[in-house]
Chain A
Amino acid sequence: RKEVEQDPGPFNVPEGATVAFNCTYSNSASQSFFWYRQDCRKEPKLLMSVYSSGNEDGRFTAQLNRASQYISLLIRDSKLSDSATYLCVVNPIQGAQKLVFGQGTRLTINP
């Protein structure tokens, strides 16, 4: 089983739609959780950290369910510029800096 699993997609949605991504992780002791965005042939960029209480940044909402080892990302009122691959990222080891990346979910927003 992969440490971090995501549905690879692709997701094709119309502009303005709401889209949700899910991610599961295998290590119950994992400490930190993130969503990164990666554009084609570019480096990943941090989108947001994910906190236990859930957090929101503009049109983006992240949720963490530790009991189910499940992370989600919700994008509201999607824009064309949201087209990218979204990477679920987990720090599985307390006190260490290692990040484990999911395969990514490819999203295309259509006009």
Chain B
Amino acid sequence: GAVVSQHPSRVICKSGTSVKIECRSLDFQATTMFWYRQFPKQSLMLMATSNEGSKATYEQGVEKDKFLINHASLTLSTLTVTSAHPEDSSFYICSAQATGRQPQHFGDGTRLSIL
């Protein structure tokens, strides 16, 4: 089946640090990649949608200057949490989709803890 790799799986860092998370589709080309965030005991919330070669579309309430998304190729998207603070601590999950009719395949998530 389709495989999406996310790295790193766990990050612990100090407040003010910028953290980059990578999402790779290993065996298919992903036209679209999605970034989600999940706080404890809550549902996944879509943060942004990115299409290869174009700017990401952010959901309402998500700061684009804080959560920088780059989708430079059909197999790689990155999310950079800039100047992270404790309230940014969460489970960040990406998903990748080959075409609009295909299901989204999820990465195994990145657990971010900001001290």
* Bound Cα distance from A97 to B48, whole angstroms: 11
Q: Mostly helix, strand, loop or mixed at chain A's interface? A: loop
The answer to whether A98 touches B43, judged by C-beta atoms less than 8 angstroms apart, is: no
For residue A1, CB closer than 8 A to chain B, the reply is: no
Q: Mostly helix, strand, loop or mixed at chain B's interface? A: strand
- Residues in A with CB closer than 8 Å to B107 are 43
The answer to whether A97 touches B43, judged by C-beta atoms less than 8 angstroms apart, is: no
* Bound Cα distance from A102 to B14, whole angstroms: 32
The answer to whether A43 touches B111, judged by C-beta atoms less than 8 angstroms apart, is: no
Number of interface residues of A (CB under 8 A): 20
- The 8 A CB mask of A63-87 against B (1 = contact, 0 = none) is 0000000000000000000000001
The answer to whether B109 touches A97, judged by C-beta atoms less than 8 angstroms apart, is: no
- Residues in A with CB closer than 8 Å to B103 are 34, 46, 49
The answer to whether B49 touches A97, judged by C-beta atoms less than 8 angstroms apart, is: yes
Identify B46's interface contact among A4, A44, A45, A98, CB under 8 A. A98
* Bound Cα distance from A4 to B107, whole angstroms: 23
Nearest CB of chain A from residue B90's CB, rounded to whole Å: 12
